[in-house]
Amino acid sequence: MALQLHVFASIIQLSLVVFMVSYGIGQIFVGSLLDSFGRFKLGTASLLLFSIASFSIALSRDINLIQMMRILQGITAAFIVVSKRAFFIDTFKGDQLKHYTSLFSIIWATAPIVAPFIGAYLQLAFGWHSNFYFLGIYTLVIMAFELYYGRESLLARQPFRAGPILQAYMKVLSTTDYLLGLVMVSLNYAMLVIYNMSSPFIIEHRFHLASLATGYCSLLSGIFFMTGGIVSKTFINRPFNKKMLTALGLQISVSLIMGVLSGFWSGIYFFMGFTLAVHLLSGFMFNNVFAYCLQRFTKNAGIASGITGGGLYILTSVFSYCLANIIKVSDQQMLSWAYVAFALATGVTFYAFNIARKNVVI
């Protein structure tokens, strides 16, 4: 894109940043609109606008227009994601809701695995424009299914007034067990992010392997995170505390063993063996707590869904970026100590979480 549009690579990278920022922040604020005006019309309109923005990027040669369309993509993606999460909370209750919310983390982990491979093959075969054509066509197909099968799921609309909306946001943001759950899912997802930030340097510069090896290792790490979510789904009816404590104890143990043994052993198989175990356990805990957070507020499902998605996005970025700079993750051992720090932080948060939810009735 930089070569064909005659701009610096940093300008193209900025287009990804503006999408991510508008998508993350957008999720926090769109919930009030969805709770007041419904899910179906706003969600369907967002699908159409996202598709138009994608085709505009593919056809444009103006970087400024592309940046504007990336912002539009981020905002409309926020509407699409939050409205669909709220749809499930509106439609299902009890075990059915547990079943569907537990699928979210599996889908969450699938996207970064599948998307780069599809994008790479499309770019290799047809050029970078094809990625945006694909997004535009794919979104139109989804919109067609939505128009045919979709419906409005919101039965009791909330008044779109500043007072009630602010009160709803304050209720969610002042609920201790919910906020601690959000911190826990962010800490576990940050383990995956900090690995992606540091693995190219470790694999290519420490182990002297090709960049292709980094790609396949990242693919494996995502698959194991997703597998943790699938395993969690099979334990959906087991006691929450028991399965969380077991996974947390295993995660702390594996991280500590990796850190200690890294002083004596090194290599891609040792490195990836422990890393995949940590990511499997992260996916398991992420799934359980993410589902808990989504089910916490059914009356204001749009606002709660938006804060959960946007808050996770923001907290994960902060945790991974800060720890990567504090510990200076540049080798296998430092990454293992980063895992230990995240696991211990999860343990402390889980202890506080259990104290907060003792008197909670959901």
CATH number for position 132: 1.20.1250.20
Residue 361 domain-assigned (yes or no):
no
Same domain, 32 and 134: yes
Per-residue pLDDT at 83: 92
310 and 240 in one domain? yes
194 shares its domain with 326: yes
More confident residue, 167 or 46: 46
Residue 196's Cβ-side half-sphere holds a number of Cα atoms within 13 Å equal to 19
Q: Which range (88-92, 101-105, 289-293) has the least confidence?
A: 101-105
Q: Are residues 16 and 89 in the same domain?
A: yes
**DSSP string covering 291-334:** HHHHHS-STTHHHHHHHHHHHHHHHHHHHHHHHHHHHT--SHHH
Q: Are residues 144 and 224 in the same domain?
A: no
Q: Is 311 domain-assigned?
A: yes
CA distances from 84 to 47, 80, 226, 262 (A): 12, 6, 20, 43
Report the number of distinct structural domains present in the chain: 2
155 and 185 co-located in one domain: no
| CB burial readout 53-66, b (16+ within 10 A) else e | bbbbbbebeebeeb
Residue 131 forms part of a structural domain: yes
Domain C-terminal end among 160, 186, 214:
160
Whether the CB-CB separation of 171 and 179 falls below 8 Å is answered with: no
Residue 140 lies in a domain: yes
Alpha carbon 230 to its chain centroid, in Å, reads: 16
pLDDT band at 360 (very low <50, low <70, confident <90, very high): low
pLDDT band per the 50, 70, 90 thresholds, residue 2: confident
Residues 264-285 pLDDT 10s: 888 899 999 999 999 999 999 9
Q: Which domain holds residue 66?
A: 2-93+115-160
Q: Which pLDDT score, from 0 to 100, does residue 105 have?
A: 67
Of 125, 160, 195, which residue is a domain's last? 160
Pair of tokens at residue 308: 């959960």
Does 120 score more than 80 pLDDT? no
Specify whether 183 is located in the same domain as 77: no
Same-domain pairing of 242 and 146: no
Contact 39, 90 (CB under 8 A): yes
Please give the distance of CA 307 from its chain centroid, rounded to a whole number.
Answer: 13
Averaged pLDDT, 168-194: 91
In a domain, 108, yes or no: no
Q: Is residue 110 part of a domain?
A: no
Cα 333 to Cα 330: distance, rounded to the nearest angstrom: 8
183 and 133 share one domain: no
User: So what's the pLDDT on residue 13?
Assistant: 75
289 and 316 in a single domain? The answer is yes
Q: Give residue 362's pLDDT band: very low, low, confident or very high (50, 70, 90).
A: low
200 and 282 within one domain: yes
Positions of E strands within the chain: none
Task: Report whether pLDDT(229) > 60.
Answer: yes
* Cβ neighbours around 176 below 10 Å, total: 13
Same domain, 19 and 136: yes
Integer Cα distance of 339 and 190 in angstroms = 9
pLDDT, the chain, mean: 88
Q: Does 275 reside within a domain?
A: yes
> Rounded to 5 degrees, what are φ and ψ at 102?
-70, -20
Picking from 160, 188, 217, the residue at the C-terminal end of a domain is: 160
For residue 227, is it within any domain? yes
